[in-house]
Amino acid sequence: MKNKLVSSGLEDVVAAETILSDVDGIGGRLIIRGFPLDALAGRKRFEDVVHLLFDGFFEPLPEPARFAAMLGEARLEAYRIIAPFLDRLAERPVYDAMRIGVAYMPDGAGLADALRLIAAPAVLLPALIRRAAGLTPIAPAPLRGHAEDILRMLGRSKGAAALDAYLVTVCDHGLNASTFAARVVASTQAGLTSAVLAGLGALKGPLHGGAPGPVIEMLDAIAEAGPDADHARRWLTRAVADGQRLMGFGHRIYRTRDPRADALKAALRDLDRNAGRLIQAEAVERIALEVLRAHKPDRVLETNVEFYTALLLEAVGFPTDAFTGVFAMGRVAGWIAHAREQAMTGRLIRPQSRYIAPSGELAA
Ligand code: ACO
């Protein structure tokens, strides 16, 4: 192994071929199953995009209307599985509770398993949020649209179109850390629940799916510092000078604006054009980009998906600590499709490491 180079972040490594999505980091485009994101987000329901992702990975795949009805039934089934455990689960932080709840799903590889896994986060998160607030969980209504039913289970009646746009926007995104984790597990021929649990573990960290909560904290801290642009500039400049990362900015692949940020901004505008938070956030975004440009002139640090995710999820009624869980509700579709794609290659993912001998150890 001595002469092999180590690529610790694997950014130059192509580890899979996929028909699922393409992240064009230079052009700032995201393609999902041949469609640019803006042809899907805000135009198609989440269940129809899941159908698109699953095409070719489950045989036979029912037509979209039947598929959506089966997803509704799967929500009911997932709810029945987790209902007896909700009280115990609600003692844990919401994302961890959701992960434990998902682990109750059978670990198969068929379409029924896949639909149950799409359904599980969607029923768990609203139930856990309501339990934490001392409210009774609401059972799913299988005939409703997926996004509409999620909000209904949360006790909300508005925002389904915005949540649908969000779930579609985040449903797949190339070989990101959580999708790679899911593919590694699937390459061992373990079941879909195992692959999804790997994805859930990877998504939790703040460098991946854990950023939108901190975005809200950052916006609150800036608002507390003072009402005008000068206060925001001072706060952001100091944060960067102190070595902090501004949450919701920068991306490993995009060297231009993250197209998902625009899709979410559009959905948010449709939801509430005059929301004070949106107006504040747009001002903070503009100043943050100027501060980042001055701080790192040689590196493109643009707005990423998490910035407007935070605002959209807050506007439709999710508490901050549930944001990463809502991300998982959408991304679980991509994890499952990738897991199937990887398992169907039949190839185990098994890279190598280079042993660095402790000082004093004799070379062989
Ligand atoms: N704020 C301030 N500085 C930043 C930021 C930021 N948001 N992002 C990167 N930088 C700086 C780094 O400090 C680093 O500076 P250095 O060279 O002096 O050490 C330089 O830019 C390059 O950073 P890397 O960490 O090499 O860039 P990488 O491609 O690995 O990072 C990442 C991508 C992790 C998303 C990073 O931009 C970040 O931490 N952003 C904030 C957290 C965030 O928004 N996460 C959500 C990402 S989107 C998603 O995963 C769904």
Ligand 1 atom at shortest distance from the alpha carbon of 243 = 13
Domain 21-207+322-345 belongs in CATH node 3.40.630.10: no
Read off the pLDDT of residues 144-173 as tens digits, 9 standing for 90 and up. Answer: 999 999 999 999 999 999 999 999 999 999
- Protein residue with its CA nearest to atom 40 in ligand 1: 250
Active-site option among 251, 302, 314, 341 = 251
What's the CA-to-centroid distance between 78 and ligand 1, angstroms?
37
Q: In whole angstroms, how far apart are CA 159 and each of 8, 9, 66, 139, 300?
A: 41, 38, 24, 19, 33
pLDDT bucket at 5, cuts 50 / 70 / 90: confident
- Protein residue with its CA nearest to atom 35 in ligand 1: 251
Better-predicted residue by pLDDT, 182 or 7: 182
pLDDT bucket at 361, cuts 50 / 70 / 90: low
Contact 78, 150 (CB under 8 A): no
Q: CATH 1.10.230.10: which residues of the chain?
A: 213-315
Q: CATH 1.10.580.10: which residues of the chain?
A: 21-207+322-345
Residue with structure tokens 């510092």?
225
Question: Is the pLDDT assigned to residue 20 strictly greater than 70?
Answer: yes
Question: Is the pLDDT assigned to residue 18 strictly greater than 70?
Answer: yes
Question: What DSSP letter does each residue of 273-342 carry, written as one string?
Answer: TT-HHHHHHHHHHHHHHHHHHHH-TTS---B-HHHHHHHHHHHHT--GGGHHHHHHHHHHHHHHHHHHHH
Q: State residue 2's pLDDT score.
A: 55
pLDDT bucket at 362, cuts 50 / 70 / 90: low
DSSP state of 345: H
What pTM was estimated for this model as a whole? 0.91
- Protein residue with its CA nearest to atom 15 in ligand 1: 296
CATH class of domain segment(s) 213-315: mainly alpha
Nearest to 339 by CA among 67, 12, 11, 114: 114
Read off the pLDDT of residues 58-114 as tens digits, 9 standing for 90 and up. Answer: 999 999 999 999 999 999 999 999 999 999 999 999 999 999 999 999 999 999 999
231 classed as catalytic: no
Question: CA-CA distance, 314 to 316, in Å (whole number)?
Answer: 6
Active-site option among 47, 302, 306, 314 = 306
